Amino acid sequence: MDKLKLTGKKKIIKVRDLEIGAEKPIFIAGPCSIESEEHIIDEANNLKKIGVDILRGGVFKPRTSPYDFQGLGYEGLEYFKKAADNVNLPIITEVLSEDDIEKMIDYVDIFQVGSRNMYNYSLLKKLGKTNKPVLLKRGFSATIKEWTMAAEYIAMGGNEDIILCERGIRAFNDYTRNTLDLAGALVAKNLTGLPVIVDPSHGTGRRELIGPMTDAAIACGLDGVIIETHRNPDTAISDAKQTITYSDYEKIRGKYL
């Protein structure tokens, strides 16, 4: 085995004045997709009041159907940055293609690599050459070895500011969207030393499970959560069933303030 860079030594990632992987769990929240300028301004203003550390919002959306809404692209990214700057919050959004890294880099605080792109080694290698933190989601059929080695692809280039995200894996379950593998998340944390957060939204696909799975993730020592919110979840353009209201988010968040 070649010499690994991620050896299990505990790493804390700094994003502005936040420390990810330190004592306090990090809360990332926001819509699955940014739908309009007015929409993301509303999300940013409301989540800021309730308590959020980092805003999430998709502008390049990897949808199952190519005919479904694909995100607002760079126009959405402009709206996102403006809305977040207004309330002084950092942002995370998914980078789908390595061709977008250079253009996105001045906007984002953290690059998100989605589940579908965990095996996109050329994207990972290119992110490894940047100086921005990367949130690496677990591929939905990835083993722990494949996931931690994907992180190694980023680290290899010199960028060790990596946050892992367990977002559920495919099993035989037909009631939840995915099966949230908290034990696997802990194993990945111990093996790499990186902070590991949990996505209970994609991990379950069901609103009523977001609170309990957040509590479970924090209880077992993981480093935070990323949660999908919307002012009117049933009308969300994507992932409505797993999206929660601001007030439900506030109840979950409030326990850890």
Burial of residue 4, with CB atoms counted within 10 A of its CB: 0-12 exposed, 13-18 middle, 19 or more buried: middle
Is residue 142 within the footprint of Mn ion (CB under 5 A)?
no
- Shorter beta-carbon distance to ligand PEP: residue 94 or 181: 94
Of residues 154, 149, 202, the one with CA closest to residue 180? 202
Q: In the complex, which residue's CB is closest to ligand PEP?
A: 114
68 touches 238 (CB < 8 A): yes
157-180 b/e with 16+ CB inside 10 Å = b?
eebbbbbbbbbbbeeeeeebbbeb
| HEC sequence for 46-108 | HHHHHCCCEEECECCCCCCCCCCCCCCHHHHHHHHHHHHHHCCCCEEEECCCHHHHHHHCCCC
- Considering beta carbons, is residue 32 or 110 the nearer one to Mn ion? 32
Partner from Mn ion, ligand PEP, none contacting 136, C-beta within 5 to 8 A by type: none
d(CA 146, CA 159): 18
Our finding on whether 59 is near Mn ion (CB under 5 A) is no
Residue 203 touches which of ligand PEP, Mn ion, none (Cβ within 5-8 Å per kind): none
Binding site for ligand PEP (CB under 6 A): 32, 58, 62, 94, 114-116, 137, 167, 199, 202
- Give whichever of 159 and 204 is closer to ligand PEP, judged by the CB atom: 204
Smaller CB distance to ligand PEP: residue 5 or 241?
241
32 binds Mn ion, rule: CB under 5 A = yes
Part in contact with Mn ion (CB under 5 A); list of ranges 29-37, 97-105, 120-128, 140-148: 29-37
Least distance from C-beta 148 to Mn ion, angstroms? 24
Residues at the interface with Mn ion (CB under 5 A): 32, 239
